[in-house]
Amino acid sequence: MQPISGVATVRGRRGLLALVLGALLALVTACAGGGGSGDDGTKGGGTEAAKPRPSRARVTVEPGDKAKDVATGGALRVTAAKGTLTSVKVEDEKGRAVAGKTADGGASWKPDGRLRADTTYTVDALAKDADGRAARKHTTFTTLKPDETFVGVYSPEDGSKVGVGMPVSLRFNRGITHPGAVEKAIEVSASPSVPIASHWFGNDRLDFRPEKYWKPGTKVTLKLDLDGVEGRPGVYGEQDKTVKFTIGRSQISVVDAKAHTMKIKRDGKTLKTIPITAGAPGNETYNGTMVISEKLAVTRMDGATVGFKGEYDIKDVPHAMRLSDSGTFLHGNYWAGRSTFGSANVSHGCVGLFDQRGGGDPSTPAAWFFGQSLIGDVVIVKNSDDETIQPGNGLSDWNMSWEQWRA
């Protein structure tokens, strides 16, 4: 009887194993949804989930992917058909974002300004259709590398302290035929804030100034964003720079050509009155408001460079301060007798102050005034038998009214 009992035990184990396997199979089948309604709503559907329908929205980026020599202005545009743009991100190769705005109810996007030259950009755009399904586009393109470029030589220098009459002046190395585009890429601001306006002198110079002289202590910022700006056909800017300078104390000097004197006022108070010599008859000094644009401890003055051929060539003029582009200086004079200053006008149009040869004596009027002066200080000449200096001759911007300047 013992062997029979053993067979029965084996069969019991097999039955138990079959029961467990059946239960597991039923569980797996239930998890798979077998035998129930399918995802498509039909009885006895398959085990795979239905694939979502694609978005009806279509995103288009102009220029096309991997385009080369793309124009810096007007070429970039992102549009969405049968959908709305929800995100547009454009960055250059350094990760700098390009600002832009959507329009037409989200159907299009354009950058706020032009792009940089010779730069690779990436575009990532997202649009959604009416059902909220997303369509994406990723492209890259590279802007043109200009064959010809232009720059603006600016004054004053970055970090400098200047007088109250100093305008911001930019002189371009190429004539500008698209002034609006260039001017739009230049910003001049001041703290404390004051209205500032620009004015073109010809097609190669752009100046900025307030209505009246700057207030002492004002901090002025010039931002040049000319990279990629087409200044003339086929000629593009290449500057991306910020320049900051500070306005120092107010110093305004008034030269009276008839009285042969110069009165210096510092912050509204008379500092000193100095005897001078101005332009002789036939070579009178310009009248009007001028601004010191350059200071030279010693310089050469050759009459041939300003139309006086052979009349003078002085190789060591001390304490020279430029007042005009046409050769007007306020400078030290060691070759005229001291009695000349305050009594006669003998120069070729400059304003002369008594000095020693080499400028080594700090007690002379010329040395003293040179040490007291800043680039941007104002020098006003009156009572000379000559015309008023033209506003574009040197930094003589203040000879235009505010209305003329803005026009």
**pLDDT digits over 308-352, tens only?**
666 667 899 999 999 999 999 999 999 999 999 999 999 999 999
pLDDT digits (tens, 9 = 90+) for 199-229: 999 999 999 999 999 999 999 999 999 999 9
Query: Is pLDDT above 70 for 97?
Result: yes
Residue 331 a catalytic site member: yes
What's the pTM value of the predicted model, to 2 decimals?
0.82
Give yes or no for a contact between 377 and 291, defined as CB atoms under 8 angstroms apart: yes
Tally the C-alpha atoms within 13 A of residue 28's C-alpha that lie toward its C-beta.
6
pLDDT digits (tens, 9 = 90+) for 133-170: 999 999 999 999 999 999 999 999 999 999 999 999 99
- SS3 track for the chain: CHHHHHHHHHHHHHHHHHHHHHHHHHHHHHHCCCCCECCCCCECCCCCCCCCCCCCCEEEEECCCCEEEECCCCCCEEEEECCEEEEEEEEECCCCECCEEEEHHHCEEEECCCCCCCCEEEEEEEEECCCCCEEEEEEEEEECCCCEEECEEEECCCCCEECCCCCEEEEECCCCCCHHHHHHCEEEEEECCCCEEEEECCCCEEEEEECCCCCCCCEEEEEEECCCCEEECCEEECCEEEEEEEECCCEEEEEECCCCEEEEEECCEEEEEEECECECCCCCCCEEEEECCEEEEEEEEEHHHHCCCCCCEEEEEEEEEECCCCCCEEEEECCCCHHHCCCCCCECCCEEEECCHHHCCCCCHHHHHHHHCCCCCEEEEECCCCCECCCCCCCCHHHCCHHHHHC
Choose the catalytic residue: 260, 319, 348, 350. 350
pLDDT digits (tens, 9 = 90+) for 265-280: 999 999 999 999 999 9
Tell me, what's the pLDDT at 302?
82
Query: Is pLDDT above 80 for 26?
Result: no
User: Percent of the chain scored above 70 by pLDDT?
Assistant: 86
Give the lowest-confidence range in 32-41, 49-58, 302-311: 32-41
Higher pLDDT, 14 or 262: 262
Residue 350 a catalytic site member: yes
* Dihedral in degrees, nearest 10, Cα atoms 78, 79, 84, 85: 0
Tell me, what's the pLDDT at 52?
82
Q: What is the spatial distance between Cα 390 and Cα 323, in angstroms, rounded to a whole number? A: 12
Choose the catalytic residue: 199, 260, 331, 348. 331
What the chain holds in terms of domains, given with CATH numbers, is 58-143 (2.60.40.3780), 148-247 (2.60.40.3710), 251-406 (2.40.440.10)
